[in-house]
Amino acid sequence: MPYLPTNLYLHSYNTSITMSNRILPLELIDKAIGSPIWILMRGQTELTGILRGFDDYVNLVLDDAVEYSPDPRDKSVIVKKELKAEILLNGNHVAVLVPGGTGPEDSMAARA
């Protein structure tokens, strides 16, 4: 059995955890499917939407997504762009996922 830190052991491919009540990152994302999610991307872009799916690389499929990014001409202005289609986000560009989140009061999402 491969070494997993802090006494965290998995039984083969089953997601049950022994010796701990910890939840694995992909399990947390799996529980968020069908729920709103707030995503901070590398750089200054944020997205909110309904999580429809993901893979082991944390590539994400979202519905009803809204993108918030600074205006390239005036960084103090936040541009809100509603994305009408189902979208696929590359997991390499995802920095933070907040399941159930719509963005805190001081986020770009709240200022738009």
What SS3 string covers 14-72? Answer: CCCEECCCCCCHHHHHHHCCCCEEEEEECCCCEEEEEEEEECCCCCEEEEEEEEEEECC
pLDDT of residue 77: 87
pLDDT, one tens digit per residue, over 43-55 is 989 999 999 999 9
Predicted TM-score (pTM) of this structure:
0.74
* pLDDT score, position 108: 63
Predicted local confidence at residue 61, as pLDDT: 97
Burial environment of residue 56 by CB neighbours within 10 A (0 to 12, 13 to 18, 19 or more):
exposed
- Rounded CA-CA distance 110/101 in Å is 12
- Res. 19: pLDDT tops 60: no
| Mean per-residue pLDDT over the chain, rounded | 82
Residue with tokens 């994302």: 29
pLDDT at 22 over 70: yes
